[in-house]
Structure 1
Amino acid sequence: MRDAHQASTQNPPIPGLVSQLLFTLYAVLTFMVMFGLLRLALLLYNNHLIGDARTGDFLESFFNGARFDIRVALIACAPLLLALLSRKATAARGWQRAWLTLTASLCLFTSLGELDFYKEFHQRLNSLVFQYLQEDMNTVLSMLWNGFPVARYLVAWVLATAALWLLFGVLDRASRTHTTPSSRWYQRSATFVVCLMVAVLAGRGHAEQGPPLRWGDAYTTDSMFANHLGLNGILSLADAASTTFSEHRDNTWDSSLADEDATAIVRDMLLTSNDRLIDEHDAAVRRISEPDAAGTLPVRNVVVILLESFAGRHVGALGSTDNITPHFDSLAKEGLLFNRFFSNGTHTHQGMFATMACFPNLPGFEYLMRTPEGGHAFSGLPQQLSTRGYQDVYVYNGNFQWDNQSGFFSNQGMRNFVGREDFVNPVFMDPTWGVSDQDMFDRGAKELDAFDREKPFYALLQSLSNHTPYALPDPLPVQPVMVDGKEDIHLTAMRYSDWALGRFFEKAKQSPYYKDTLFVVVGDHGFGAPEQLTEMDLFRFNVPLLLIAPGIQEKFGGVSDRVGTQVDIVPTIMARLGGDTQQQCWGRDLLSLPDGDPGTGVIKPSGGEQTVAIVRGDRILVKPKDLEPRLYRYDLRGRQTEKLDDPEAATVLGQQMDAFIHTATQSLLSNKAGARGGSQAVP
């Protein structure tokens, strides 16, 4: 009797059809529970984003999430279903356990990384993952290792993987509780067909006729955080992979407008009384701009300062009481500050080409500088000022190969670059990115002083310290920012960057060129805040734009409420310098808009997501892919929004947004986005 028991223990019963069905069911439930717990972890880890959301919103998000989770669970367990067709495959439980453990482990690994990914970007896993993988891996790995608790996550992942292997072993034994007679082939086949139909219906996510489950089905509450929780990060990443590795032109905007109608709308949006349209049969908005002499300033030089992650939400001059940016706030009193200004994207990459090349962030082309189309002709500051004989310099903390900056900007007409390798004995060198902001600004000040005074110059100074992993000099020249009794390293880095900016201006004011220079200070993008205004998360886009120049306040005042985005910067600069300009910028001079025009801007997040929005005055129309557009009134200082029911306004804004994106995309694809005809970037 004892021998029989030992034999049955050492050689468990060969699983039959019922046992395989039970094991498959247990495995699906295990994946569902794991995804539910990971969703709970994502909620708790980012609990500062809960805001005014109700408990019901999160219960709804967990229900929605289960609909997405079951699709992944069924895909992971598909080999177990296929095993129903073969007795040998059914008996190969060791291989089945190995497959389940490997699949669950990879899902777990991805989801652990998503905890900080969402905290940083307020997005589920998307094409940003693949964009970073295409960059210099030493830099990426250094950023991850120094910026996040990688070792802790790896230990947790290894232990959890071991636990999963043991758990699937327990489930294997539990499913063998009784033996069944060997099933015939037709019984197995019939069972497989029935299970396959059930799996397809469950994975499709819709029991009725209609479209299968889409990411928009998670957007059922008024809380963006809750809606995002309703998604599954594995599916989001798979969809991003499909988009990233397909032909990028396949992911462009699908317009409902005819080309000629879209072009007419865009011309009405962008052309002002100071513009004369040219090449109208060849280019969409190529024009000669003839600014009013009354709007020019007594300046000849231009310095653009692009500040990393300089979020308007934390700028004192824009209403923050956190005392993060005292130096910028002081400078704002000397110039013209735009308090409804937005980045065109949510990544430095988009901030660079929108600000300097005057071209918008478009669906399918979020990483324009790294695509073949990035070699096309544009109409930015390098093109406009190189024709006037300007000297130039681009000063940056890091390596210019990142994001193909040197390739893109040299092709656009910039000639002089000062990057990470050009600094000697810096105050601080971050092993991930490069020198500190104070080093960058110090070198920038020296480069500006070294220019030939007989010729005008323009410069781009780009900061970097306010970026993960926020490696800062020690000791810090500023006090750390404390939030709820703990240091907020991101806000500390922003305060440090502000200090370095103030130090630069102290030096610049002592230089002869200062009185002849227009300074443009702008954030490349913002970052997430607890108040997620609309599906676009507006605080990720809201940045300050500050213009400092002699006589600017006397002519234009100290504050402007007009809406603008980074593509408006070049036209605004060129109009202050004076003289006719042939250009095809996708923005306007913000200081010569028609009376009553509150300003307009089209924005979209990075990461390949086709959600787009158009902002006009205090209204924003948000259009997620595959969903109806939603109109809001927003209040940046009050940090709130109000959903509006105004179909007429929504229709007008929707057509403008559609026309803008469609026409800009077609201009890019046909290589007709430059200031002049032809394919040469540098005139």
Structure 2
Amino acid sequence: MDMKLSKTFSPIVALLVNLLIAFVAYNISRIEFILENLSYFSEHLSFSYLLRMFGGGYMFDRSAIVYSNALYIVLMLLPFWQKENAVYHKLCKWVFVVVNSISLVVNLCDSVYFPYTLRRTTTSVFREFRNETNLGDVFWGEFLVHWYLVLLAIVVIWGMWKLYYMPKTNVKEFTKRSEKLRFAGVQLLALVICVPLGVGACRGGLETGVRPITINNANQYVDRPTDCAIVLNTPFALMRTIGKDVFTVPSYFKSEQEAAKIFTPIHKLTPTGPFRHKNVVVLIVESFGREYIGGLNKMYFGGKYKGYTPNVDKLIEKSAVWYYSFCNGRKSIDGMPSVLCGIPMFKEPFVLTPASMNNYTSMAGLLSKEGYSTAFFHGANRGSMGFLAFANKTGFQQYYGRQDYDADPRFGKGKDDDFDGHWGIWDEPFLQYWCTKIGEMKQPFMTTCFTVSSHTPYIIPEKYKKVYPEEGIVMHKCIRYTDMAIGKFFEKASKQPWFKNTIFVMTSDHTNLSDHQQYQTDIGGFCSPIIIYDPSQELVKPGMRNGIAQQIDILPTVLSILNYNKPFLSFGCDLMTTPNDDTYAVNYLNGIYQYVKHGYTMQFDGNKVIGMYKLTDLLMKHNLVGKVKEQVQMETELKAIIYQYMYRMVHDKLLAK
């Protein structure tokens, strides 16, 4: 090829070389992602499995790179010889480096966020945190802890800048009309060829019948849903969830009536007597996973594992708890509708979807119609996490947050001394405030408190730093502090006149950092406590029960205890009357539905069962798909649950008629 012809093709060669650099940057961030979260993957990784996931990752990287570099590609291939100059190509270089630096940083940041969600971040994160004013503090805290990621980003960005390949063309070299036309023609042809290739890259292929790839497609390259995070990249997850309809009704059944023969979320309880006007107190403890609680791990570790919750362990001895218990989501905003409304998280957090505008209610809304006074407490700023809007929507009559605590002369004294500097009021003083305010509510009452301290950036009050030193992982000292706060709450509550006329429920919103592999599996990441405490022991007998419990069971269970006699909606079951073998749990992770029942965890991708594991297979090593007689029944039941969920979301049928 002569010199002039090579210069004609130079922008095309430069484009291909630079896009290859982008692929390298994506794979560097993927390797970092694995290393940052190695404890979640190391048990089952092999070289061949990594090759398969990296091969799948190429398809998603290709899509993200073409999407994000579309402007750069067009700029490089514009069929105008006049653009071939140093200034223009310096501009192209800046576009390339800036765009791909942002993609790199987003991927690196998500490697830190992954342990909280077990999935790649989608656009729902912007709605989730839109009311927060403290994200800068959290970001800088993580920035300091993960300084090595900052260093890695600097090195990779510097590498992209230094390795960037500049085209070897100059406008002055095109002296003949034929040379100009040839250059323009080659560039135009390349641009025309790039259009279908780019569309194919974005869609995942150009074959007939191929639908644009989504996050769910990552499951074809992995053995378990959690590993989808390795195959995917965060820019793709963000771009593919912009403005997308979340809920569609599947074709499992011809009608809702047909699905209802197998499963219906409409409950019509059979009371054993008149309505009991018992008070109801629900404590949702931030990130308080079952892993940390010694009293709920005796079946796994015997007496060797003491846990970090001596006060909650004492509460468990007096309460009803379940051998297996789960949360229905991985975020705080998943926990609220699950615990209080009986609505699990499928696909995206319910309160961040258009379906949140549907008509629905909660335990507070139902009980307020029975004459209850209701109040929601959250130690953060008003509006944080959208909890104030949620409380108003679902029937809470009062809301108390950080500002209300500070304004109370008995506690905040008009100051902000008990603010943790990041999220809200420390758990110890805020739970004392909650207990005091409960005593001012008219009985019967229903109240919920959502704590804040056991959360990133994993700090505790200065006066407790020597009492609860660093141990294990950074979360443990926070768990010990919050456990102490819970112990003091129940100590104070036990002296109140309303105490024995109250049903207490305690759970977590979701799980958090883990240092035990059995809690890092697909189902282990959803292990949360479900604790129901009746101080009178007349309605709820203490003890470990052999069934399965989940957050969405709390609403029907509490209403059953109260002898509630009106229809209501919940996707869970009444744990008081449902036989142990009929209890179940459902959750959703990276495009896979998980259904726990009959001693198994079934994984369903929306079309077929892809996994079947015994609950006693704690590390989920033995896939028994096709070998378990209960599989067909469980698949049918799960399809009915999914159908009912989607149908009712789409058609605004979240209230019992």
Superposition TM-score, scaled by structure 2 size = 0.85
Shift of 1:536: 7.8
Q: Provide closer, same or farther for how the CA distance between residues 13 and 630 of structure 1 changes in structure 2, counting only shifts above 3 A.
A: same
Amino acid at match of 1:18: F
Q: Provide closer, same or farther for how the CA distance between residues 191 and 297 of structure 1 changes in structure 2, counting only shifts above 3 A.
A: closer
Q: Does 1:428 align with 2:413?
A: no
Q: Does 1:357 align with 2:345?
A: no
- Aligned-residue identity in percent: 20
Which residue pairs with 2:271 in the alignment? Answer: 291
Secondary structure class of the residue paired with 1:597:
helix
Q: Does 1:308 align with 2:302?
A: no
Matches within 5 A, 1:125-204: 125-132=121-128, 134-136=130-132, 138-149=133-144, 152=147, 157=153, 160-168=156-164, 171-172=165-166, 184=182, 185-194=184-193
Which residue pairs with 1:222 in the alignment? Answer: 223
Q: Provide closer, same or farther for how the CA distance between residues 480 and 266 of structure 1 changes in structure 2, counting only shifts above 3 A.
A: farther
Per mean C-alpha deviation after superposition, the further-off stretch among 585-594 and 201-210 is: 201-210
Shift of 1:210: 6.1
Amino acid at match of 1:496: Y
Alignment equivalent of 1:318, drawn from 278, 292, 296: 296
Which residue pairs with 1:20 in the alignment? Answer: 11
Distance in 2 of aligned mates of 1:579 and 1:72: 52
Per mean C-alpha deviation after superposition, the further-off stretch among 561-570 and 215-224 is: 215-224
Secondary structure class of the residue paired with 1:398:
coil
Which residue pairs with 1:445 in the alignment? Answer: 435
Matches within 5 A, 1:231-310: 231-240=232-241, 242=242, 245-246=243-244, 250-258=245-253, 260=255, 262-266=256-260, 268-269=262-263, 285=266, 288-293=268-273, 300-310=278-288
Give the superposed CA RMSD. Answer: 3.5
Distance in 1 of aligned mates of 2:447 and 2:162: 61
Q: Deviations over 1:408-458 (max 9, x none)?
A: 323433222221012215763122211011012111121233345xx3222
**Contact persistence 2:345–2:587 (CA under 8 A):** yes
**Contact persistence 1:24–1:77 (CA under 8 A):** no
Alignment equivalent of 2:44, drawn from 22, 32, 52: 52
**Contact persistence 1:572–1:591 (CA under 8 A):** yes
Per mean C-alpha deviation after superposition, the further-off stretch among 151-160 and 114-123 is: 151-160
Q: Does 1:418 align with 2:412?
A: no
Matches within 5 A, 1:529-548: 529=514, 537-548=522-533
Shift of 1:391: 2.6
Matches within 5 A, 1:308-387: 308-319=286-297, 321=305, 323-363=307-347, 366-368=349-351, 373-374=355-356, 376-387=358-369
Distance in 1 of aligned mates of 2:504 and 2:519: 32
Secondary structure class of the residue paired with 1:659:
helix
Distance in 2 of aligned mates of 1:133 and 1:574: 32
Which residue pairs with 1:645 in the alignment? Answer: 625
Shift of 1:311: 0.8
Distance in 2 of aligned mates of 1:532 and 1:205: 34
Q: Provide closer, same or farther for how the CA distance between residues 232 and 461 of structure 1 changes in structure 2, counting only shifts above 3 A.
A: closer
Which residue pairs with 2:408 in the alignment? Answer: none
Q: Does 1:569 align with 2:554?
A: yes
Which residue pairs with 1:618 in the alignment? Answer: 599
Shift of 1:344: 1.8
Which residue pairs with 1:40 in the alignment? Answer: 31
Q: Deviations over 1:246-291 (max 9, x none)?
A: 4xxx32033113453x444445435xxxxxxxxxxxxx72x54222
Alignment equivalent of 1:655, drawn from 610, 617, 636: 636
Shift of 1:23: 1.0
**Contact persistence 1:123–1:228 (CA under 8 A):** yes
Count of residues in correspondence between the two structures: 625
Amino acid at match of 2:263: M
Shift of 1:497: 1.2
Which residue pairs with 1:108 in the alignment? Answer: 104
Shift of 1:154: 6.0
Distance in 2 of aligned mates of 1:443 and 1:637: 43
Shift of 1:225: 5.3
Q: Provide closer, same or farther for how the CA distance between residues 558 and 103 of structure 1 changes in structure 2, counting only shifts above 3 A.
A: same
Alignment equivalent of 1:591, drawn from 550, 559, 576: 576
**Contact persistence 1:465–1:497 (CA under 8 A):** yes
Q: Provide closer, same or farther for how the CA distance between residues 156 and 534 of structure 1 changes in structure 2, counting only shifts above 3 A.
A: closer
Which residue pairs with 1:389 in the alignment? Answer: 371
**Contact persistence 1:466–1:493 (CA under 8 A):** yes
Distance in 1 of aligned mates of 2:356 and 2:62: 41
Q: Provide closer, same or farther for how the CA distance between residues 649 and 85 of structure 1 changes in structure 2, counting only shifts above 3 A.
A: farther
Secondary structure class of the residue paired with 2:625:
coil
Q: Does 1:580 align with 2:571?
A: no
Per mean C-alpha deviation after superposition, the further-off stretch among 397-406 and 423-432 is: 423-432
**Contact persistence 2:249–2:646 (CA under 8 A):** no
Amino acid at match of 1:466: S
Distance in 2 of aligned mates of 1:150 and 1:83: 43
Q: Deviations over 1:208-237 (max 9, x none)?
A: 666365542464243555542122222122
**Contact persistence 1:253–1:363 (CA under 8 A):** no
Amino acid at match of 2:77: A
Distance in 1 of aligned mates of 2:70 and 2:451: 48
Q: Deviations over 1:532-591 (max 9, x none)?
A: 779982233211111111454896450112223222112211222235334233332111
Q: Provide closer, same or farther for how the CA distance between residues 202 and 601 of structure 1 changes in structure 2, counting only shifts above 3 A.
A: closer
Q: Provide closer, same or farther for how the CA distance between residues 623 and 190 of structure 1 changes in structure 2, counting only shifts above 3 A.
A: same
Identify unmatched segments of 5+ residues in structure 2: 406-411
**Contact persistence 2:611–2:625 (CA under 8 A):** yes
Amino acid at match of 2:471: M
**Contact persistence 1:327–1:501 (CA under 8 A):** yes
Amino acid at match of 1:55: F
Amino acid at match of 1:102: V
Distance in 2 of aligned mates of 1:222 and 1:371: 29
Identify unmatched segments of 5+ residues in structure 1: 1-11, 271-283, 678-683
Distance in 1 of aligned mates of 2:540 and 2:378: 33
Q: Deviations over 1:293-312 (max 9, x none)?
A: 5xx99882211111111111
Shift of 1:374: 3.7
Superposition TM-score, scaled by structure 1 size = 0.82
**Contact persistence 1:376–1:671 (CA under 8 A):** yes
Amino acid at match of 1:96: C
**Contact persistence 2:275–2:564 (CA under 8 A):** no
Distance in 2 of aligned mates of 1:34 and 1:299: 61
**Contact persistence 1:340–1:562 (CA under 8 A):** yes
